[in-house]
Structure 1
Amino acid sequence: MKAVVVEGYDSIDNIHLKDVAMPDLPAGHVRVRIQAASVGFVDGLKVQGLYQTRDPLPFTPGTEFAGIVDAAAADVTGFAPGTPVMGMARSGGLAEYIAVPAAALVPMPDGIAPEVAASFRANYLTSLYALSERAALRSGEYLLVLGAAGGVGIAAVQLGKLLGARVIAAASTEEKRNFAIRFGADATVDYTQADWRDRLKTLTDGHGADVIFDPVGGEVSLQAFRSIAWNGRHLVVGFAAGSIPALPFNLPLLKGGSLLGVDLAQIPRREPEAYRRVMAQLFTWLTEKKLEPVVGKVFAFEDFREAFKTMQNRAALGKMVVRIG
């Protein structure tokens, strides 16, 4: 089978498609023939060895995928060959086949294309967990979404609207801001402008943002916190800007604001009830067609490098997807 293989932490230009052995099928595992896999910001960091943890070399990147069950170990039930599934793993998604523990998979909802399923779970689980479980976002509150046109940002825009918030999307280009409006944002701000906080103040009638959804980091995070409402909640989701801000402790005191961390990898283990609750809500909205997940650009398998480069250049609208099967 073919797979993207990272043999040394390097530029994406030096990573290639290679012929590798089919994955084994140990006890408790399911082998999936992959139809589509997504490429997120974290995947780009892992390839270059810049993420906070490193995958042992060699490895195949890609944490989120969708496909068809090829085979299941004898001790696994509920995943018969031919079953459409979506899954998440530490790595291995950018390949024609993957073997993962059965717990890493869920059946694909009816009517959902593989490209949608491959780009759905991480972004929407992160966003809904952050907004509902961590920030307890209430109907009528002001939600400011930084990096609103990215995969996790646009998910927060959509879910914020479903939760009844007044959503303000912050993005750096007109194309990105229009993209956010298209998927439900009530208003936008250009956070590259020096006076963007003045516009935010006007949009919120001087109230400020009740909840800030922040996958960006850097200086814009500090500026956003300065515009938080009293008893506001700032959700730390990631650092796409490349730098981790240092918040002066007097700001939470003066603003009555809270800083809340969101780490997708720890949710199932540390908060299994919250994980099940959020996933159930997401699948209900999918089934009821109240939520239509956003798919960014779709690339052919042999063009996987372009998916990474689009993400790394912060030119992505939504999450990048690689079609494999």
Structure 2
Amino acid sequence: MKAVVVDDFSRIENIGIKDVPEPFLAPGMVRVRIQAAAVGFVDGLKVQGLYQTKDPLPFTPGTEFSGVVDQAADGVSAPLPGTPVIGMARNGGLAEYICVPATDLMVAPEGLAPEIGASFFANYLTGLYALRYRARLQAGDILLVLGAAGGVGIAAVQIGKLLGARVIAAASTEEKRQFAIEHGADAAVDYTRADWRDQLKELTGGHGPDVIYDPVGGEVSLQAFRSIAWNGRHLVVGFAAGTIPALPFNLPLLKGGALLGVDLAQIARRESAVRDEAMRQLFAWLRDGELVPVVGRVFPFAEFRDAFTAMTTRAALGKMVVRIGA
């Protein structure tokens, strides 16, 4: 089969597609013929060896994928061969086939396009888990989404609206701010401006955001927390800015605020029932047409490097997806 293979941590232009053996179908595993795989910011860091953990070399990047079950190991009763599925793995998504534990797969809702399936799992599960189960977002709350035009951010914008919040999108360009508004944000601010907190104060009537959804990190995170409402909740989702901020402890004290971590990788292991409940809600929204997931650009398999470039240069609107098979 063909797969993207990282032999050495390097720039994405030095990584290519190679012919490799099909993955071994171990007990309890399911082999999936991949139709599409998403490329996220973490994937870009992993191939360069810049992520906080390093995958053993050689490896195939790609954590999110959609496809069709090709074969199940003896004793695995579901999902059956031919079943459309979406899934997540530590790596291996940018390939024609992947083997994963059957418990790591979700049967895709009927009619879900592979491109949407590949970009859906992580972003929307993270958004709903963070907003409903961690921050306890309520109807009428003010939600500030940092990095609102990226795949993670735009999912939070949409879910925030479905939960009844007033959503303010923070993004660095006019194009990105308009993109967020087109997908449900009530207002937008330019967090690259020195006076952006003044604009945020005006938009919230001096109240500040009740919940901050933060996949960005860096200095903007500290500035956002300084504007948080009394009893506000700041969700730490990631560090796309490349730096991890250090919060002075007097700020939570003065604001009565809470800093809440969101680590999708641990939800299935630590809170499997919550994960399953959240996915049922997401699938229900999909079926009812209340949620239309945002896909950015779709690239052919041979052009996978362009998907990484779009993501790592932070030029992406939505999530980048690589189409691999029919």
Structure 2-normalised TM-score?
Answer: 0.99
Unaligned runs of 5+ in 1: none
The answer for unaligned runs of 5 or more in structure 2 is none
SS in structure 2 at match of 1:128 = helix
Q: Following the alignment from structure 2 to structure 1, what is the Cα–Cα distance between the partners of residues 107 and 133?
A: 24
Cα distance per residue 1:86-113 (max 9 Å; x no partner): 1111100000111111011111101110
Partner of 1:233: 233
Q: In structure 1, what is the equivalent of residue 261 of structure 2? A: 261
Counterpart position of 2:178: 178
Look up the match of 1:271: 271
User: How much is the aligned-residue C-alpha RMSD, in angstroms?
Assistant: 0.7
Classify the secondary structure of the residue corresponding to 2:291: coil
SS in 2 for 1:119: helix
Q: Deviations over 1:1-24 (max 9, x none)?
A: 100000011110110000001111
Q: Which amino acid aligns with 2:120?
A: F
* Letter in structure 2 aligned against 1:13: E
2:282 aligned partner: 282
Once the two structures are superposed, what CA deviation does each residue of 1:33-63 show, in whole Å capped at 9, x if it has no partner? 1000000011111111111111110000000
SS in 1 for 2:318: coil
SS state of the match for residue 221, structure 1? helix
How many angstroms apart in 2 are the aligned matches of 1:92 and 1:272?
23
Q: Distance in 2 between matches of 1:217 and 1:45?
A: 15
Count of aligned positions = 325
SS at 1:109 equivalent: coil
**Code of the aligned partner of 1:119:** S
Write out per-residue CA displacement over residues 152-204 of structure 1, whole angstroms, 9 at most, x where no aligned residue.
Answer: 10000000000000000000000000100010000000001111111101110
What is the TM-score of this pair, normalised by structure 1?
Answer: 0.99
- C-alpha distance in structure 2 between counterparts of 1:203 and 1:55, whole Å: 44
Counterparts of 1:27-46 in structure 2 under 5 Å? 27-46=27-46
Q: 1:141-152 to 2 correspondence within 5 Å?
A: 141-152=141-152
Residue matched to 2:203: 203
Report the counterpart of residue 93 of structure 2 in structure 1.
93
* Larger CA deviation: 276-285 vs 211-220: 276-285
Q: 2:62 maps to which residue? A: 62
Whichever residue aligns with residue 30 of structure 1, its letter is V
Whole-Å separation in 2 of the counterparts to 1:39 and 1:142: 30
Q: 1:26, CA displacement in angstroms?
A: 1.2
Please give the alpha-carbon distance, in whole angstroms, between the structure 1 residues aligned to 2:225 and 2:307: 32
Amino acid at match of 2:68: I
Amino acid at match of 1:193: R
2:266 equivalent to 1:250: no
Q: Deviations over 1:204-248 (max 9, x none)?
A: 011000000000000000000000000000000000000011111
The offset of 1:121, in angstroms, is: 0.4
Deviation, 1:83, is 1.1
Aligned residue number for residue 78 of structure 2 = 78
Mapped to 2, the partners of 1:185 and 1:150 lie a distance apart of 13
What is the Cα deviation at residue 273 of structure 1?
Answer: 2.2
Does the residue aligned with 2:295 lie in a helix, a strand or coil?
Answer: coil
1:79 to partner: Cα distance: 2.0
List structure 1 segments (4+ residues) > 4 angstroms apart after TM superposition.
Answer: none
Percent of matched pairs sharing the same residue = 74
Cα distance in 2 for partners of 1:295, 1:75 equals: 36
Whichever residue aligns with residue 169 of structure 2, its letter is: A
Counterpart in the other structure of 2:216: 216
